[in-house]
A and B are shown apart, each in its own frame.
Chain A
Amino acid sequence: MAKIVAAGAVSHTALMVRAKDKAPKEQADNVFGAFAELGNRLKEKQVDTIVVLSADHLKTFFFDNMPSICIGIGETGKGWGDAGVPQYDVPMDQPLAKHLLTYGLENEFDLSSSYEMKLDHGFMAPLHYLTPQMDIPIVPIFINAATPPISPLKRMYRFGEMIAKAIKEWDENKRVALIATGGLSHWVAVPRMGEIAEEFDHRIINQLLQNQEQEIQKWSNEEIENEAGNGALEIRSWVAVAGACPNEKRELLCYEPVTAWATGIGIMDFMGGE
């Protein structure tokens, strides 16, 4: 049977690639050092497949057809090459993608799927730093975090639980990692752009470190957006991964409020105690 051997969450921002050098050196070193550390842990744990959960920035999906959750089930994940990220191709784990899709249907999640789901920087910027060789197959899962109506966090937590159950019941001898990307606080192209809500960021980090996501699930999308910005709605991918591994010892690899990137950058290992 398959096993979840690693799980993590990382912030992403276009600026961490496009304006990499604009951040103060100490902050950049901490952030990229944490990416490298998490990437090394994926290697050490001999991960066969990475399930990547991310929002999209209206590059792949538009209002004419906007799923709440969509699983990429094609052979190759093609990057848009946006935000300064090279235009990568990354192999995809089709059998796992199709298993998750089917398992979801049988377990109260009517998921969308796409054979040609192109991947923007939400997926590719973190992979650019975690697995730059693009040599580990992925299952990309798009989670709508930008276009209302947006599902409540408790739904994302249940989704994470379902993903974990599906992987554990998958009849393949594979070592699977989960990586959430997005957040933390940031305002994108709205009047408060540039602000970072450090208090919010520390609150969610501390609650996750203490495995207290039951509290986080009570937050409404409106409250999150008001306090931490429209970009902070991306924390739903973190909550999904929390639902997938609720009892593991977690470790914060870095938190930096990077003003130059207009984003609170957090990187967490959700199975740091293994």
Chain B
Amino acid sequence: MNDDMNAYRINKFLSQLSQDEEKTARFLEGDMFLFDNNGLTQEEREAVMFCQATKLFEAGVHPLLMMHLSIILKKDIKELYQKGL
């Protein structure tokens, strides 16, 4: 478990993305205010932006929300796990 990664904070951020198309669009455009508003740390932001599946999973982020993130970012989550990313 990485102390710099807070699962609840990331889960809440991903939940908001999954419920709000406008936020999803802003996320894809790289709007950093979204992260600021949710208080995500730099490490958390990078893990989310690059869909670092293994890291998010080990931090305790909920798989269903990771699934949603991978769909938004058009990433193959199975492949990410296989590569240890």
Residues of A within 8 A of B (CB): 57-59, 62-64, 146-147, 188-191, 193-194, 230
Contact = CB atoms under 8 A, between A and B. Distances in A.
A191 B64 contact: no
Nearest to A81: B21
A225 B57 CA distance: 16
A62 B67 contact: no
A193 B64 contact: no
Contact of B78 (A57, A58, A147, A193): A193
Contact of A59 (B18, B57, B66, B78): B18
Contacts of A189: 53, 57, 63-64, 66-67, 70, 77
Contact of A194 (B11, B64, B78): B78
B55 interface: no
A205 B65 CA distance: 29
B43 to A, nearest CB: 20
Interface string B7-50: 01001100100110000000000000000000000000000000
A147 B61 CA distance: 11
Contact of A188 (B8, B15, B18, B67): B67
A116 B19 CA distance: 14
7 smallest beta-carbon distances between A and B, as pairs: A189-B63, A189-B67, A189-B66, A191-B81, A58-B64, A193-B78, A57-B64
B18 to A, nearest CB: 6
The DSSP consensus for interface residues of chain B is helix
26 contacts: A57-B67, A58-B15, A58-B18, A58-B64, A59-B18, A62-B11, A62-B12, A62-B15, A63-B11, A63-B12, A146-B62, A146-B64, A188-B63, A188-B67, A189-B63, A189-B66, A189-B67, A189-B70, A190-B63, A191-B54, A191-B57, A191-B81, A193-B77, A193-B78, A193-B81, A194-B78
Contacts of B64: 57-58, 146, 188-189
A63 B8 contact: yes
The DSSP consensus for interface residues of chain A is loop
A63 B53 CA distance: 20
Given A146-B64, A193-B78, 20 more contacts: A57-B67, A58-B18, A58-B62, A58-B64, A58-B65, A63-B8, A63-B11, A146-B62, A147-B62, A188-B63, A188-B67, A189-B57, A189-B63, A189-B64, A189-B70, A190-B57, A191-B81, A193-B77, A193-B81, A230-B63
A125 to B, nearest CB: 15
Contacts of A147: 62
A200 to B, nearest CB: 19
B82 to A, nearest CB: 8
Nearest to A187: B63
A265 B69 CA distance: 25
A121 to B, nearest CB: 12
B66 to A, nearest CB: 5
Contact of B19 (A59, A63, A188, A190): A59
